[in-house]
A = this chain, B = another copy of it.
Amino acid sequence: MDIRTIGWKNNKVRIIDQTKLPQRLVYLDIDKMEDLWQAIKVMQVRGAPALGAAAALGVYLGVRNYSGSDWPGFCRKLNAAAKYIASSRPTAINLFWGIEKVCAAAQENNKQPVVKIKQTMLEEAKKIIRADVCSCRKIGDYGSRLLKPGSSVLTICNAGILATIDYGTALGVIYSACKQGKKIRVFSCETRPLLQGSRLSCWELYKQGVDVTMIADNTAASLMAGGKVDVVIAGADRIAANGDSANKIGTLNLAVLCRYHRIPFYIAAPQSTFDLKLKNGRGIKVEMRDRQEVTKILLKKTVAPEGAAAINPAFDITPHELISAIITDKGIIRMPCVKNIRRIFKGETNAFKRNR
């Protein structure tokens, strides 16, 4: 695609500032770990797979100016950087996965000179970026088989180009189907409170020439009752061993609506979004964000009375029994459950042995 959400350019992390979309396409060049932490926090860069790359690069930024040549000193710096970046946002597992990838690369090379360790870490971060491009294409290819020509797909938040490196998970499925010549109609839930659906998904789908219609989140049931939705596809921020999936607040609403209206509900996510150490969704920490994201539209226009209470969980957990299938880069997991999830990742379980 012609949009690159995050990359390494001129020795800096280049990201699209997603808070400026859809009005302006602005790139930010970041060379300080603290600035990257902030960019993650305020969601200038967001989306689980993109956060994996951002976190890996962030840790690298945190250690690259280390002037010593000793492993123990470097290791302390590394651990501090890893801990710091990990404190930016709690729910998307990919963020922690990205951190661990670069930390493991350093650890494995701890006999090498520090300058070489740093180089290996940067290479590892770049590998995450290349792997994501590849994995999104695979998700797209697998998932597109589930879409018939003429299908009408409803999605929430942004699990597209802007949530990954350059293709998307849920929207990647749509892009792949479109490439195959299938005519797909997309309904994009605006996704309050931060409007990633209208601001980001509509923007990129429209730019890619996909037939997209924006709706208020409240309109989903009415569309389904009217027979206007064939399939719902959402991304995920963390998937437990039994298939319970955390994703943007509102995803559970859609899954329940799908069950009632007998519409397939799919999650699309790479292997790196699975957290097989968690038995089920109850173990997933849901980020609570500032109430002002709800009481002030885009932190500007106040829409609630001064002083009124508001709660603002950023995610909800969809139980696996409401998920028709999970579309991964390793294949489609139907009736998501511990057995079916383990089967598809067989032989790759080492990838999940993480220490957090």
Copies in the complex: 2
- A256 near B297 with CB under 8 A, answer no
Q: Contacts of A190 on B, CB cut-off 8 Å?
A: 192, 294, 303-304
Q: Which of A193-224 contact B (CB under 8 A)?
A: 193, 195, 198-199, 202-203, 206-207, 211-222
Q: Which of A190, A257, A305, A312 has the most CB of B within 10 A?
A: A305
- A202 near B305 with CB under 8 A, answer yes
- A294 near B221 with CB under 8 A, answer no
**Chain A contact surface mostly:** mixed
Task: For the complex, give the distance between the alpha carbons of A218 and B222 in Å.
Answer: 15
Task: For the complex, give the distance between the alpha carbons of A203 and B307 in Å.
Answer: 10
Q: Contacts of A211 on B, CB cut-off 8 Å?
A: 309
Task: For the complex, give the distance between the alpha carbons of A332 and B125 in Å.
Answer: 63
We find that the number of chain A residues with CB closer than 8 angstroms to chain B is 56
- A259: CB under 8 A from chain B? yes
- A69: CB under 8 A from chain B? no
- Provide 23 A-B residue pairs closer than 8 Å at the C-beta atoms, listed in order of the A residue: A22-B304, A190-B303, A192-B216, A192-B217, A192-B218, A193-B218, A198-B308, A202-B305, A202-B308, A203-B308, A213-B309, A214-B295, A214-B309, A215-B294, A216-B217, A218-B250, A219-B316, A221-B252, A222-B317, A259-B260, A260-B260, A297-B298, A301-B301
User: A residues within 8 Å of B by Cβ?
Assistant: 22-23, 190-193, 195, 198-199, 202-203, 206-207, 211-222, 225, 248-250, 252-253, 256-257, 259-261, 294-295, 297-298, 300-313, 316-317
